Amino acid sequence: MRKLLTILMAFCFGITSVFAQTRQISGKVTDEGGAPIPGVSVIVKGTTTGAVTGSDGNFSLTAPENEVLSFSFIGMKTVEVQVTANASYNITMKYDVIGVDEVMVVAYGTTTRSSFTGSAKQIDAETLEKAKTIDLAKSMEGKIAGVQVVTNSGQPGNAAEIRIRGIGSLNASQQPLYVLDGVPYNGNIATLDPRDIESFTVLKDASAAALYGSRASNGVIVITTKSGRKGGSKIELTMDIGQNMHLNPFYDVVKSPQDYNVYSWEALRNWKQYGPNPLSAADAAQWATTNLVDQLGGYSQFDVNGDGKITAADTELVLNSGQFNPAAKQMISDSWEDELIRNGMSRKVGLNFSGGNDKTTYYTSFNYLYDEGYVIESDFNRLTSVINLQHQAKPWLKINNKLGYSWFKQNASVDETAGRGNNAFLFVNTMPAVYPVFLYDTDGNKIIDPLTGGYMYDYSDGTVPANTIEKNRNTNVFVNPVGSYQYDENYTIRNEINLNSSLEATFLNDFRVTTTFGLTWFNNSNYSQYNSYYGDAKGKGYIYRTIDQNQIYTWNQILTYFKQLGEHSVTAMVGHEAWAYENRYTYLRKETVLKERVPEFDNAILMTNLSSDIFQRRIESYISQLKYDYAGKYFANLSFRRDGSSRFANNHWGNFWSAGGSWLMNKEQFMAGFSFVDMLKLKASYGVQGNESLTQSYPSYDQLNVQNLNGAISIAFFEKGNPNLTWESNKTLNAGLEFELWKRFSGEIEYFIRDTYDMLYQRDMPLSLGYSTIWVNDLDMRNKGLEFTLNYSPVRKQDFRIDLSFNGGYYKNEITKMPLELSTGEESLFIQNGSFGYENGRSVYDRYLVLYAGVDAETGQAMYKQAKDAEGNVIPDLNASTIKDILDKGEITWGTTTTWADGTRTFEGSTAVPDLAGGFSINTFFKNFDLGLNFMYQLGGKAYDNVYADLMDAAKSVGTGNYHVDIVNRWQKAGDVTDIPRLTSGLDKDFNQRHSFWLVDASYLGLTNARVGYTIPSSITKKWQMETVNFSVTGNNLFMLTKRQGYYPSGAWTGTSNDYQYMPLSSVLFGIKVTF
């Protein structure tokens, strides 16, 4: 019956069409950027007559005059056009953003959120613009569920690092792959100006990222730069000016020299009273009073005798009672923090031009940035320019050319390498207050430097000017960051070029072939010069130069086929891609310089070092993808990629694939009664990705060094290669639910399992073999977790809107297979890695260390937990490799010991992995005003606070480091109940060793961005011949609430603090944006 009715209706329609005036019409459908849109449904409204656009966006059909053509496509606003006498129609469709991220840029193309089967999140240009960050990675803080951003250096010009969905690897790279305008990008994202970015999309699961194969195991970030749009020219000018500062406070340390002298006196007294050959309490106190200044290296800032001078006789700074001498008058007062920390300027100017016509569109920009750090002599200059051209050469041929150039100069005064004494943060946090910045004479006056004309800095390098006392610090000798930052040079100049050219041709209506060539070239040159006035280069001066030149090219060829048959839509893609990387590195060093701050080699006479090397990599790839859509509600996606890598000797090739599906439930008939459901989608995917990124250049091959042996060539073994090494693999399962309700509430919930197999692991080997380590494929790991994003608009009126967003992510990390133990030929039961321990079933970030047991109230000594077996033997380690033998003897008993080395190392019960991490935002729009607040948070996880451990080391030798103010809670006399042991100068050496007392809750709440903006009404700006004028005030990194002042958990993946780390800067910017 249904077939008969259909035939009768078609017949009736055909009869009526005979009497209507029909005509053959054709045209092309494009988006706002001029790109053709395949698969658009073109229907004569109210009929079944229609057509579908081909891969070139073209369509043709016969339609009666005066009827209405309806153009519809998922994710686009429907366009209706009346048929007139015209025979050709060019239609521009706009994206219809109902919820968030309706249209996304993904691997080798675009998709809509409705049809997407994977896990991804897109950040648009407006969000980037409001963030006002100079670092693209920082703009992601707290905005994407499952994405962690770590600022391991706040030095201007240093980019933050990103980790997606937990711990991707142990030894291989954990960084995501960056793709710039369709081409893998190996440059520095700090060279990209966020004002040139149209969007970036974070691809999190295998279905989204598997097309990038061996480099996509840690996720992909697809960056799309801005392009021009047809319809006239547009000019945009942006200017921002403000200040950078250090708003998050330093650790709360002892800043008073009086207090530090008192603590030092007590440490010396206890050393003499409780140490070898102990003295009586009175004699120990007298000895400490007499020898305090001498034990501090001869340093004193006080006149004790009342003669107005600081002399060798002014030694009694602390009385025998332990009180600071009230007769002592302070003659010297300066501060490392005051001399090293400042407020820096930030200035940004951007100018871009864009526009186009039916055939050609263009976008070009010029951007300049000057960003001063809050540490003296640290700054960042960046100049970028972008030219993007698109030209429709023929109806079937489109040409795209994108060229970007970036130059920057980074003055990196702070050397953040661990162990380097010349570090601002090391001095601010840990330099005792008794050691001044400058050299002073006995009258307490700064000494004029005859070499520089300024004041002489105290390098503690043996310099003894007239009218001074000879003295030497007990710590960080031969260095002074205040002087070095002003007299030394340490800057990097980088030039980078990014070229992206593509040709896109359509043929046979349903086929499109695209070829893209991408080239990235950059050169980093680091210029360093150590002054000849002071420090370890005194009398000579050193000049260093490193030159790091890189060239990367990508060339791909993609063939795409699209076909729509009724409600069935099929897109197929096959392609080939070649990628090549070359790095040339040169290092040079000369000494004995003529002139300061001229780091050129003609300025020095003695060559002391010259070396260079080259590193090359190749990846050859074959890719394919099949996408299917039925009725706009059932979607499937299959992809496959085969990669061949030059890193591996015998196992070049790896296969990577994914499969995904999604179901738009809201389009089902049974959902018709739920009018409040705007969108409801189920999705799932599974796939395999790879990882071959190691810092080691050639892990599959033996490496040798060429050396000089008395003028003859000598070949020395350097590193053992493993020819059987192969890919590290990630197998990822993702399942999720997306929804939009009442046009106000939207969100998504996703569950994932990410298994890492055959991890690239550096195995320890017996030294008798002639090498200590070798790269192998060993150890398996699992990350599984849950992510959510919730968006709600409680108010949505014409002149007033409030948008709320909240996201979070949780994951659990677990070792599922331990590495091979060579001695047994079986899996290892336990491996220790610093303060972490590896066992099957545990996280790689589970804490393994000695457990702290408090302070002995009678002696003031620190105590540590100690386990013994049934025979009374001390158990040094309690883990899976020892527990069986121990329990076979009987029960374990626990006690305490005052010797850390005799304590029992075991799992403490905590992990560095947080319970929940994410962000939330509040955005309000009222008339022409906008207000935005963005927060990031973390709940749970314990971190190791190294800085606090150094500051609270009660046993440090006096003068070797500062104290935290918590030292006031130390044990002082028998009966004191406290967790802080007695002060002893080098006697109780164990307290700052690795144990559980130094673990701290890594939870935090940070305000990453706050903005207030105002847009002048268009009725006014039009009179000024301007399209828009917007003013804004923006603050970044305004505060972070943590367990301890000075501790910054998001400075490392494990939350571990660092004495040498440049903490993230805060900024306040005033901006204006004008569009013509």
The tens digit of pLDDT for each residue in 680-728 reads: 999 999 999 888 888 777 899 999 889 888 889 999 888 899 999 998 9
pLDDT over 50 (residue 323): yes
User: Any idea what DSSP says for residue 187?
Assistant: S
Residue 865 lies in a domain: yes
Residue 139's closest CA among 225, 84, 187, 197?
A: 197
Residue 523 lies in a domain: no
Q: State the pLDDT at residue 311.
A: 87
Beta bridge partners of 574: 559, 624
Residue 598 lies in a domain: no
Report d(CA 127, CA 93) in Å as an integer.
23
Q: The domain spanning residue 39 has which CATH number?
A: 2.60.40.4130
Residue 261's closest CA among 337, 333, 327, 315?
A: 315
The tens digit of pLDDT for each residue in 823-867 reads: 888 999 999 999 999 999 999 999 999 999 999 999 999 999 999
- Do the Cβ atoms of 242 and 346 come closer than 8 Å? yes
Phi, psi dihedrals of residue 686, rounded to the nearest 5°:
-150, 145
User: Which of the listed residues 911, 936, 966 is the one where a domain comes to its end?
Assistant: 911
Residue 887 lies in a domain: yes
CA distances 263 to 281, 298, 624, 959, 964, Å, are: 16, 17, 70, 10, 11
- Label each residue of 331-349 as H, E or C: CCCCCHHHHHECCEEEEEE
Q: State the pLDDT at residue 582.
A: 95
Report d(CA 680, CA 986) in Å as an integer.
66
Cα 361 to its chain centre, rounded Å, is 34
pLDDT over 80 (residue 208): no
Residue 900 lies in a domain: yes
For tokens 């429709």, the residue is 392
Residue 597's closest CA among 530, 646, 645?
A: 530
Beta carbons within 8 Å of 50's beta carbon, 6+ residues apart: 41, 42, 43, 44, 61
Report d(CA 25, CA 88) in Å as an integer.
6
Three-state DSSP at 798 gives coil
pLDDT over 50 (residue 2): no
In this prediction, residue 11 has a pLDDT band, given cuts at 50, 70 and 90, of very low
User: Which of the listed residues 92, 116, 147 is the one where a domain comes to its end?
Assistant: 92
Residue 460's closest CA among 485, 482, 477, 481?
A: 477
pLDDT over 60 (residue 16): no
Residue 597 lies in a domain: no
For tokens 């041709």, the residue is 505
Residue 271's closest CA among 259, 287, 256, 260?
A: 287
Cα 713 to its chain centre, rounded Å, is 44
Domain enclosing residue 21, as ranges: 17-92
Number of domains in the chain: 2
Question: In the predicted model, what is the mean pLDDT of the chain?
Answer: 90
User: Which of the listed residues 911, 946, 964 is the one where a domain comes to its end?
Assistant: 911
Q: Which amino acid is at 1005?
A: L
The tens digit of pLDDT for each residue in 605-658 reads: 999 999 999 999 999 999 999 999 999 899 999 999 999 999 999 999 999 999
Pick the range with the lowest mean pLDDT from 146-155, 255-264, 978-987.
146-155
> Length of the chain, please?
1076
In this prediction, residue 9 has a pLDDT band, given cuts at 50, 70 and 90, of very low
Q: State the pLDDT at residue 68.
A: 79
Residue 438 lies in a domain: no
Q: Which amino acid is at 349?
A: V
Beta strands 800-817; 916-926: pairing state: antiparallel
Q: State the pLDDT at residue 115.
A: 81
Cα 229 to its chain centre, rounded Å, is 33
Q: Roughly how many angstroms between the first and final C-alpha of the chain, as a whole number?
A: 63
pLDDT, mean of residues 347-369: 95
Residue 371 lies in a domain: no
The tens digit of pLDDT for each residue in 47-63 reads: 656 777 876 778 888 78
pLDDT, mean of residues 446-468: 89
Half-sphere exposure of 887 (CA within 13 A, CB side): 7
- Label each residue of 925-986 as H, E or C: EECCEEEEEEEEEEECCEEECHHHHHHCCCCCCCCCCCCEHHHHHECCCCCCCCCECCCCCC
User: Any idea what DSSP says for residue 552?
Assistant: E
Report d(CA 419, CA 1059) in Å as an integer.
9
| pTM for the predicted model, two decimal places | 0.88
Report d(CA 984, CA 271) in Å as an integer.
5
- Do the Cβ atoms of 575 and 558 come closer than 8 Å? yes
